Amino acid sequence: MKEAAYYTKEKSLKVSCHLCAHNCHIAPGKRGICKVRENRDGILYSLVYGNLIAQNIDPIEKKPLFHFLPGTNTYSISTVGCNFQCMHCQNYNISQFPSINDGAIAGEYHTPREIVDAAVANRCKSISYTYVEPIIFFEYGRDCSLEAKKKGIKNVFVSNGYMNPEVATELSSFIDAINIDIKAFTDSFYRKICKASLKPVLDTIRLMRHQGVWVEITTLLIPGLNDSTNELRQIAAFIKDVDPAIPWHVTAFHPTYKMTDRPRTSTQSLRTAREIGLNEGLQFVYQGNIPGQGGENTYCPACGQELIQRVGFQINDDNPTTGRCSKCSEKIEGIWK
C-alpha cells in the first residue's frame, strides 16, 4: 500500500482522485471506480502497489506492438483492478477481481528492482504494464519504469487511454511505447459497454503522439456493435489526422464474460476493416487474433515491399528491419532497436 498520486483533499475527509477521467469523489472508507484506490481518513492510497497478480514473458507482438522492437520479448506485469467495466473483457478475472470478490486485493509483493532484475535475467528488452488498465497502478508502474531505464530496459503501457492530461504528460516522460484501444467511435458504446466515454481516449492518443511516445492503436471488432463501415472509417480518419504512420490493429472478438451472445468476428470482417483503413490513408493496418489469415505482415508504404512476415505473434526473420525499406530506402516509422 502506498499513498496515491494525483488526488486532492476535500471537506469532511473526502478526496477527489484525478488519475483517470472518471475523477472519482471518494468518501472516507470508500474506493474509486477502479476498486484499488481507497480513502483512509482523508488520504488516498493505492492498495495494489507491488502486489502483482500476473507476471509473464510475452512476445512484444502480443501487446500488440508491431513497430516496436519486433521479435523481442517483453516482461509483462499486472495487478488486479481496472477503471473500465467492459462487458467483453477477456481478463475480467483479474480486472474485476475486487468487485467480484468483496473488495479483496490479490497478488504477491515485488519491488520495482525485482521486476527489472527479472526482465534482465530473462533477456527481455522491455517491461509491459498490461492485462488490466495499468494507469490504476500508476505509482508502481512509474517506479518500475524509472528503475528499468537505469538498465536500458524500455517501458510499454497497454492502455484504454482513459486518463487525465496531466497524468498522460507525466507518463509520456518515462514510457517508450503505448498501445491504446479505440473500442468504438461512439459515446453510446463506451457508456453502455465500458462505463466510460470516448473523448478522453482520443485526447490521450493525440497527447502521447505529440509527446513523442510510440503509439499503436487496437480496435476489437464486435459484430453488430462497432464494426459498421461508417464507424471504421471514422476511426481510421481520426488516426490519420493524428499521424498516418500510427499502426492500427483490427482484431477478432470471441464471446466471453458478459457478452456471450455475439458471434466471433469473421476473417472477412477483419479484411474489410483493413481495406477501409488503408483506403482512408493509413500506412499500416494489421489483422489480429486469427493467426495465418493474412494482414499481419509489414509492407513498405512507398513501394509495397514486404519487410516483416508474421504468423500470429511470431516473425519469420531474425533481423526484421532497420527502419528503412530494403528495396527503396523509405523510412519505416517505429522503434527498431
Opening angle at CA 150, ends 179 and 112, nearest 5: 70
Average pLDDT over the chain, rounded to an integer: 96
**pLDDT tens digits, residue range 54-94?**
999 999 999 999 999 999 999 999 999 999 999 999 999 99
| Predicted confidence (pLDDT) per residue in 99-138, tens digit | 999 999 999 999 999 999 999 999 999 999 999 999 999 9
The 10 Å CB-count burial string (b at 16+, else e) for 75-94 is: bbbbbbbbbbbbbbbebbeb
Q: What is the pLDDT of residues 239-276, one digit of tens each?
A: 999 999 999 999 999 999 999 999 999 999 999 999 99
Q: What pLDDT was estimated at residue 290?
A: 87
- Residue 318 pLDDT exceeds 90: no
Encode pLDDT of 215-243 as tens digits.
999 999 999 999 999 999 999 999 999 99
For position 322, what pLDDT does the model report? 75
In sequence order, what are the residues at sequence separation of 6 or more whose Cβ sits closer than 8 angstroms to the Cβ of residue 148?
Answer: 115, 116, 119, 127, 154, 155
- The whole-angstrom separation of Cα 267 and Cα 270 is 5
pLDDT at 317 over 80: no
What is the rounded CA–CA span in Å between residue 282 and residue 301? 9
User: In this predicted structure, what is the pLDDT of residue 314?
Assistant: 87
What is the mean pLDDT of the segment spanning 43-47?
98
Between helix 112-121 and helix 138-150 the angle, nearest 10°, is: 50
Residue 218 has what pLDDT?
A: 98
Of 37-46, 180-189, 300-309, 312-321, the least confident:
312-321
- Of the pLDDT bands very low, low, confident and very high (cuts 50, 70, 90), residue 291 is confident
Nearest to 48 by CA among 108, 90, 128: 108
Measured between alpha carbons, how far is 160 from 179 in angstroms, rounded to an integer? 8
Q: Which domains does the chain carry? A: 2-46 (no CATH), 51-315 (3.20.20.70)
Measured between alpha carbons, how far is 278 from 284 in angstroms, rounded to an integer? 7
pLDDT for residue 78 = 98
Calpha distance 12→197 (Å, rounded): 29
Let me know: does 135 contact 129? Beta carbons within 8 Å: no
3-state secondary structure string across the chain: CEECCCEEECHHHCEEECCECCCCEECCCCECCCCCEEEECCEEEECCCCEECEEEEEEHHHCCCCCECCCCEEEEEECCCCCCCCCCCCCHHHHCHHHHCCCCCCCEECCHHHHHHHHHHCCCCEEEECCCCHHHHHHHHHHHHHHHHHCCCEEEEEECCCECHHHHHHHCCCCCEEEEECCCCCHHHHHHHHCCCCHHHHHHHHHHHHCCCEEEEEEEECCCCCCCHHHHHHHHHHHHHHCCCCCEEEEECCCECCECCCCCCCHHHHHHHHHHHHHCCCCCEEEECCCCCCCCCEECCCCCCEEECEECCEECCCCCCCCECCCCCCECCCECC
Predicted local distance difference test score (pLDDT) of residue 319: 63
- Does the pLDDT value for residue 190 go beyond 90? yes
Task: Sort strands 54-59 and 126-129 into parallel, antiparallel or unpaired.
Answer: unpaired
Residue 211 has pLDDT above 80, yes or no: yes
Residue 140: per-residue pLDDT: 98
φ, ψ dihedrals at 132, nearest 5°:
-125, 180
Report d(CA 229, CA 236) in Å as an integer. 11
pLDDT of residue 95: 98
In whole angstroms, give the CA distance from residue 336 to residue 333.
Answer: 9
Is residue 194 predicted with pLDDT exceeding 90?
Answer: yes
Q: Per the structure block, which three cell numbers stand in for 188?
A: 453510446
Percent of the chain with pLDDT over 90: 94
